[in-house]
Structure 1
């Protein structure tokens, strides 16, 4: 990878550096307190009771939304961009998914089930999952309204309009694709009632991508001109493959 050219920062004495670092520390503390406040507000959000059932295709056969909880009370659904005609998943979603398998034991122990959902048929999903050597559960919503109801999939008719509804607002269709990413949370009580408790879209799930968090303190940080423009599928980095273009779609 070519590092973006950048002038050297000022070189100062250790004392001057400590003074500048302490000023930055104050901003970092403000960021941490704000992040804690946001998390508190997130947990306090009202819920919406799910009054519509959804059926998903899985390697074990059809499953309903309630089945995806796998006996736990909390479910996180990652809206993975992979449409019915795609043979490979979105590069950005693949980048996110490289970070999931190591969390599964901890999530499950904490009464949380994680599942990725895409509109691609289950055979295409399983083929790409095998290519990427992932272990997390991944199911197909092909043929259901699930992706459309959660505003992460759009028909050609939707995209022909000036705007689509994404990230809780009207978004210019020129900035949209037939598939877009997101993360939704659900809770299932002892009676079996299911509630939608939270969703986030666009860059809302960025904190789940550990590589970005590790890059941030490095000298050049993420070293990007556009959001995650440096990312490729993990089997496409040199010298593995150079031919297929890296994009956030397919």
Structure 2
């Protein structure tokens, strides 16, 4: 028997009616935030960057990644060279890319995933996950470091790295995030926006579905946002979800 409030229809209706105003206000706030984001100043990118790509064309410049479009989203997947793990959070987000990409490419937007590991390491995991998006390697370049998603050992040892527009202590060499670029008619490239950490959650459609449900994300707070339930999508068949009175318990078989 649930211990949640059970109300007669009239009380249920009035409570949801009041809450609906909050939902609409949030929608309007989100629209204004997007407008404010588009109005931010841009940064001209003058440094040349090259990437190893999954195509037969070999190395590509940052300009090439636009694929003839004017806008480019780069998702920074945490994947350092010789990694002995596969980032669950980055993989969770990446599971949503192919569906969105069917529409983005028709809206003047190209999207690529970029990691620091050599291309061969990326392609093996991409094949395993059956992802179709373009995944490029910045191995050997300054791209990840310049855009503050990778850090040197000296930076980490100093206890002060620039991340999310502030100096913080960092323990790992790589972090996730998204960076947005625009290329004008003269070929000039600008960084228009970047987001790191939990700022990329709005790219994860599964969260939007879970946030509609009574049990929500089944997480233990902002410091444990993924560990309780998210798995690489080909590992779920080894686990079973058992409903419980206090929530959902995930039990390994």
TM-score, normalization: structure 1?
A: 0.89
2:147 & 2:178 partners in 1: Cα distance? 10
C-alpha offsets along residues 137-181 of structure 1, whole Å, 9 cap, x if unaligned?
0000000000001100112222222232111112232xx421111
The equivalent residue for 1:236 is 235
1:121–1:172: structure 2 CA closer, same or farther, 3 Å change rule? same
After TM superposition, which residue ranges in structure 1, 4 or more long, deviate above 3 angstroms?
A: none
Q: Which runs of 5+ in 1 are unaligned?
A: 1-5, 241-250
The answer to whether the aligner puts 1:8 opposite 2:12 as a matched pair is no
CA contact (8 A) 1:88 1:128 kept: no
1:110 to 74, 85, 107: 107
2:19 & 2:87 partners in 1: Cα distance? 35
2:202 & 2:48 partners in 1: Cα distance? 30
Give the C-alpha shift of residue 35 in structure 1: 0.3
Q: CA RMSD in A?
A: 1.7
2:92 to 69, 73, 95: 95
Tell me which moved more, 82-91 or 182-191: 82-91
Give the C-alpha shift of residue 228 in structure 1: 2.1
The answer to whether the aligner puts 1:79 opposite 2:111 as a matched pair is no
1:195 to 181, 187, 190: 190
2:160 & 2:21 partners in 1: Cα distance? 40
CA contact (8 A) 1:187 1:196 kept: yes
TM-score, normalization: structure 2?
A: 0.88
The correspondence of residues 103-142 of structure 1 with structure 2, limited to 5 A, is: 103-142=100-139
2:51 & 2:194 partners in 1: Cα distance? 19
Structure of greater relative contact order (alpha carbons < 8 Å, 6+ residues apart)? 1
1:68–1:87: structure 2 CA closer, same or farther, 3 Å change rule? farther
The equivalent residue for 2:145 is 148
